[in-house]
Amino acid sequence: MLIFSQEALSQADSASSAVSDAGKTRHTLYSAAGYGSNLIYLGSTISQNQPYGYTALTYGYKDQLYFTVSAVHLHERDPFVAFSSGSINYSHAFNSWFDISSSVSGYLVAPSLSDTLFGNFLYGDLTLGIDWRLLYTKISAGGLVMDGVNPYLQLRNSRFFKTPEFSKKDLFFTFDPYFNLLFGTLTRAETTTGTVINISPPYRKGGKYSQSSLTTEYTKLFSIMELDFGIPVAFNSGHLTIEAEPGYVIPLYDDLIYPGLKRFVFTLSAYFRIF
């Protein structure tokens, strides 16, 4: 449930084993730190194709309710913390094949970077999970709040594997290969002559668009944005989990101004269960 294992590739919840195997205690606390090659969120690179590092702290209650705060540093950007985030996530399993979850996240960017990266925004979603035995499907409908509510829809299929424990220290590996389709809101800037200036997510560069030209019209549309897939691999040892996630992103929309997505992305994270 850590926010970056959940959302770093827009794919929502590549769940860390450190969290999913949290035991049955009433209260849990996790710390996390990691590095990524490119931070992609809701179909766009919010790190502007730069590497990033992050730290996070998560409190869990009864393995169902989680509160997370995190901070992100971008390579060659000042201040040191480019933006921070906080989230609340609730999940409930009705039986062995059906569960639901809901989350609300808020992102705060450093004021000096609001015109360069993005503006502050909120994102909330409701997710249905269905276990088909061979595949686990998550259908997530959400909305980004910035200059109105902008809808998003994700369809994610995954297959979780866990190796037998080895050695006397209960060590094991987990694998969670997935593929994901993302539909979302795009902002289209077009001249009266029909020339498309750019198509981009609504939070691009603070959601601020120059409208000094009377010949430019700005509209929003709901469309397919991205196909992505990856293979998170985690090494689990008691309270510590180390997870590597290589992934591949295929953008399905054109954006001539906002930095293009790098096709291959990689994230390395360490999760430590404090109690």
- The pLDDT of residue 255 is 58
Which residues, 6 or more positions from 130, have their beta carbon under 8 angstroms from its beta carbon?
Answer: 97, 98, 136, 137, 138, 139
Full domain range(s) for residue 261:
3-273
* CB hemisphere CA count around 260 (13 angstroms): 9
Tens digit of pLDDT at every position of the chain (275 positions) = 344 444 443 333 433 444 444 445 789 999 999 999 998 888 888 888 889 999 999 999 998 999 999 999 998 889 999 999 999 999 999 999 999 999 999 999 999 998 888 889 999 999 999 999 899 999 999 999 987 888 999 999 999 999 998 876 789 999 999 999 999 888 777 777 666 655 667 766 544 444 444 577 777 888 888 899 999 999 999 889 999 999 999 888 765 555 456 689 999 999 999 99
Closest CA to 235 of 179, 169, 180, 178: 169
Domain total for the chain? 1
Asked whether the beta carbons of 257 and 45 are under 8 A apart, the reply is: no
CATH number at residue 91: 2.40.160.40
pLDDT confidence of residue 116: 83
Residue 212 CB contacts under 8 Å (≥ 6 apart), including other chains:
none
Q: For every residue of 99-123, which 3-state class applies, written as one string?
A: EEEEEEEEEEECHHHCCCCECCEEE
pLDDT at 142: 95
Q: In b/e form, how buried is each residue of 5-40, taking b as 16+ CB within 10 angstroms?
A: bbbbbbbbbbbbbbbeebeeeeebebebebebbbbb
Residue 235 DSSP class: E
Question: Helix or strand or coil: residue 6?
Answer: helix
Q: Which residues pair with 153 in a beta bridge?
A: 141, 183
User: pTM of this prediction?
Assistant: 0.84
pLDDT value of residue 43: 81
